[in-house]
Amino acid sequence: MTKRGKTRPDDPSGRYSYGGLERIMHERARLGILTSLASNPKGLPFNDLKELCALTDGNLSRHLQVLQEAGIVGIRKSTAKGRSHTRCRLTAPGRRKFLAYLSELEQVVKDALGDESEDGAREGLSPA
Amino acid sequence: MTKRGKTRPDDPSGRYSYGGLERIMHERARLGILTSLASNPKGLPFNDLKELCALTDGNLSRHLQVLQEAGIVGIRKSTAKGRSHTRCRLTAPGRRKFLAYLSELEQVVKDALGDESEDGAREGLSPA
């Protein structure tokens, strides 16, 4: 038993289940892809994304397909000067979903590192 | 091309690969277990942990075994009044590893939501 309600063992069931961490976005490589695209609102060419996320062609293609099928990422293919280009960006619903995911991620960090309580005491891991 | 160096497509390779998100801790259920234990430095009984993370007996046992084999979580079994009790807590190396993981997680959120740049402009997703 502790002084603060949120960490009492009799907290509501599922207090730390983090259902908002949707698996489709939580996968590590996809998290990198989504963060790259969030930082580049105009989208990114396939090759830049591959470089930024340190992924192989095959891996990036596979993850992009999953994200596209879920409506999170949009992919536009075009041809210029005889070469094909692939450009990827977050869709509007994808942006909203990723924001909701990030807010749950922030909650995890907050829960784990501990907040200041009213009397100034900290609980959780102290990064100091 | 953007004004800020960190999001230029010619950023160093792997800028968004997040190698510090160790898979053993990144799995959603395990992240919940580790956060529960980080918030309860004296450890938690198996049943409380099960409730807090909304996991079944089987699932929690399986994840705890993985975390124990990696030296991240310590498990103590005891018998009192004829009943057996299992108590779980983070080990000292586990705490350090989880802190390093959390610091990478904070970086993801920072990258995705965008920082204030010198001229006050934001890049990345705005939570507003």
**A69 confidence band (pLDDT: 50, 70, 90):** very high
CB half-sphere exposure, B63, CA atoms < 13 A: 24
Predicted confidence (pLDDT) per residue in A25-46, tens digit: 999 999 999 999 999 999 999 9
Checking if the pLDDT of B128 tops 90, the result is no
**Would the pTM count as exceeding 0.90?**
no
Strands A44-45 and A83-90 come out as antiparallel
**B125 confidence band (pLDDT: 50, 70, 90):** confident
Report the residue from B32, B52, B106 with minimal CB separation from A109.
Answer: B106
Q: According to the model, what pLDDT value does residue B115 have? A: 59
Predicted confidence (pLDDT) per residue in A85-123, tens digit: 999 999 999 999 999 999 999 999 999 998 544 444 455
Instruction: Quote the DSSP letter at residue A19.
Output: T
Walk me through the domains of chain A, giving residue ranges and CATH numbers: 22-112 (1.10.10.10)
In chain A, whose CA is at the least distance from the CA of B35? A112
Closest by alpha carbon to A62, among A100, A24, A101, A22?
A24
Q: Do A31 and B13 touch (CB under 8 A)?
A: no
Closest by alpha carbon to A73, among A82, A63, A83?
A63
* Contacts with B103 from chain A: Cβ below 8 Å: 127
In chain B, whose CA is at the least distance from the CA of A22? B28
Contact B40, A126 (CB under 8 A): no
Q: Which of residues 34-93 of B touch A (CB under 8 A)?
A: 34-36, 38-41, 44-45, 48, 51-55
Predicted confidence (pLDDT) per residue in B53-110, tens digit: 999 999 999 999 999 999 999 999 999 888 889 999 999 999 999 999 999 999 999 9
